[in-house]
Amino acid sequence: MIRVLSFLLLIFLSWNCKSKQESLIEEIQELLEEQSYEKASGMLKDYLVKPKSDDEVLSSEKPETPRIVELSYDRKRLIYLEDSKLNWRDASDGSNGSKSLDEVPASLAVSLNANFALAEYPMTNGCRLFAISLKNNDLLYESGAQISCRNRGGISDDGSKIYYFVDNQLYEEKTVEPRTPKLIVSKEKITPPFAGLKARFFLYPIGKDFLLFSGNAGSYYLYYFQPEKKSVEKIDQEVISPLIYYGTGDSAYYLGGSIGRLHLRRLQLGKGKPSSSKLFTISRKEINPWKLPGKNEFVSNYSGKVHLWGPSRKSQVLPLLCERIWLVDQNKVLCENEKGGLYLTNLDFPEEDWRILKLYEEARDK
């Protein structure tokens, strides 16, 4: 009897969910017949923007300052900062938590497994640095350095060392007293493409080492930085954006080429210097490439839409409206919508959602 009742409840819930979608479709079709295109478009957009019943809502309110989102290299650990509240969620063990910070950081960089973070706090003439533990309270270290807020520093995966830039040079500092910053890479070794422009520097962890971007204005060099050896090697000199998109396993992606001709490039990670390979030309709507596992396919968002695309398939708009996305774990999309909400959703969409997207495009274009 219990099994029968459970089965009937499941059927009822499925029918009820479907009936809501079907009733929306029927109402929209009536509005289109009445040529009430604006009202129909608004109702459909509202449906596509909101999280669905089986989505995981992380935040329903828009923070006062822009939300900062960071991922571990394997995309399993998610860190998101909302004003002075630091939140984390771990797909590996299902754990989650949060801690309140005394002030609102200007930026945040996480370690390889996102167990530690390096937070920058704005001052009158630059930023000061704090190393923070994201799993417990065993680390809260303030650096004595005052740095430019233009750059992105780094922190080792055990939280024992931080790395930051001062006057275009890279420093290392242990996260224990007394404060002892050390110059480990001079500016002559990490030169940007254009010496006349004020350079920016960005660090991203890969294993015990880091990727280092140097440049500005859509033109960067990419270096491989080994802290233990205090050495850097150039990987690529035709880089458009200083952003890394972690893939699945031992790969990461970034944008190369030149303005007007964008190339997707892959970094093969492993022991030693990563190898870079040019993949294929991409369009502007594909400029934030999140790799799907097991397929040569990516998801990106552009102009409020989410696209599924790949080198051997036509780009497809998904029934999901997001201002920003990240691919968390294997294939869960973290969506930040125009209302400031943040939620996790799967890439499996029922047939009714595709019909709603088609109706939305028709009503919007009228």
- pLDDT per residue over 122-170, tens digit each? 998 899 999 999 987 788 999 988 899 999 999 999 999 999 999 999 9
Mean pLDDT of 339-351: 94
**Domain around 34:** 21-67+288-365
User: What angle do helix axes 351-365 and 37-49 make, rounded to 10 degrees?
Assistant: 140
Query: What 3-state DSSP class applies to 250?
Result: coil
Question: Per residue in 267-286, pLDDT tens?
Answer: 999 888 999 999 999 998 99
**Contact 245/291 with Cβ under 8 angstroms?**
yes
Instruction: Tell me if 127 is assigned to some domain.
Output: no
DSSP state of 152: B
Question: Residue 91: inside a domain, yes or no?
Answer: no
**CA-derived radius of gyration, the chain:** 23
> Is residue 54 included in any domain, yes or no?
yes
Residue that has been written with the tokens 């209302």 in this structure: 339
Residue 294 lies in a domain: yes
pLDDT of 173 over the 70 cut: yes
pLDDT single digits (tens) 33-82: 787 889 988 999 999 999 998 999 999 989 999 999 999 999 999 999 99
d(CA 286, CA 254): 11
343 lies in a domain? yes
The model's confidence at residue 4, banded by pLDDT at 50, 70 and 90, is: very low
What pLDDT, on a 0 to 100 scale, did the predictor assign at position 23? 78
Q: Number of structural domains, the chain? A: 1
Query: What is the pTM (predicted TM-score) of this model?
Result: 0.89
- Is the pLDDT at 94 greater than 90? The verdict is no
d(CA 11, CA 13): 6
Of 26-35, 196-205, 250-259, 343-352, which gets the smallest average pLDDT? 26-35
Helix intervals (H) in the chain: 2-33, 37-49, 351-365
- ω into 51 cis (within 30 of 0): no
Q: Band of the pLDDT at 12, cuts 50, 70, 90?
A: very low
Query: In sequence order, which residues have a C-beta less than 8 Å from that of residue 217 and are 6 or more positions away?
Result: 194, 197
CA angle 37, 42, 47 (to 5 degrees): 125
Long-range contacts of 274-282 (CB under 8 A, 24+ apart): 274/206, 274/211, 274/224, 274/235, 276/222, 276/235, 276/236, 279/311, 280/311, 281/257, 282/255
Whether the CB-CB separation of 218 and 168 falls below 8 Å is answered with: no
* Domain annotation covers residue 153: no
Sign of CA dihedral 123, 129, 133, 138: negative
Q: Is residue 299 in a domain? A: yes
Can you list the pairs that 299-308 forms with residues at least 24 positions away whose Cβ atoms lie under 8 Å? Answer: 299/325, 299/327, 299/333, 299/347, 300/325, 301/325, 304/338, 306/333, 306/335, 308/347
Which residues does 73 contact at the CB level (< 8 Å), separation at least 6?
112, 113, 205, 206, 246, 252
| 335-339: average pLDDT | 96
CB neighbours of 77 closer than 8 A, spacing ≥ 6? 71, 88, 89, 90, 91, 92, 113, 114, 115
Q: Does residue 107 lie in a domain region?
A: no
For the segment 282-305, the average pLDDT, to the nearest whole number, is 92
At 360, give phi and psi (nearest 5°). Answer: -65, -45
Strand partners, 173: 162
Give residue 18's pLDDT.
Answer: 53
Question: Which comes out higher in pLDDT, residue 197 or 63?
Answer: 63
